[in-house]
Amino acid sequence: MAKVTVHRGVTIAPKNTYHSFRADITISDIDSDGDVDHQIEEALAVHSQVSEAIAEPLAQDAADVSALSIEGMGITKQFDKFLKEDKAWKESVVKEVTKLQKMVDGK
């Protein structure tokens, strides 16, 4: 089984002049002799589960650190938009990796 590392973060600058959302996923220790597609699917399922579990606490942390209301800053809406864009990006990466794996395998 592949190992998965998930990192999500929010950066809020003084006076809220700049917001930055960050999402990283690391999939490692993939068994190249095993079913690579299945391992990637499993890893992304774990990533989604972790991301969903930490989304609300992360938004609350952002509000606490900035000393502002989440609703007042629209952080929740921005973060939701980011999560949707991140999901689309992950799906495109999986398609590309799968395509490259098939090329390597000569399929």
What pLDDT tens digit does each residue of the chain (107 aa) get? 677 776 666 666 666 566 666 667 788 888 878 888 898 888 888 888 888 887 778 777 776 666 555 455 556 666 677 777 878 888 888 888 888 888 888 87
- Can you give the pLDDT at residue 16? 58
- Can you give the pLDDT at residue 84? 79
Tell me how far CA of residue 99 lies from CA of 59, 96, 102, 103, in angstroms: 35, 5, 5, 6
* Helix ranges, the chain (H): 36-66, 70-73, 75-105
| Domain range summary for the chain, segments of one domain joined by + | 3-105
- Can you give the pLDDT at residue 92? 84
pTM for the full predicted model: 0.47
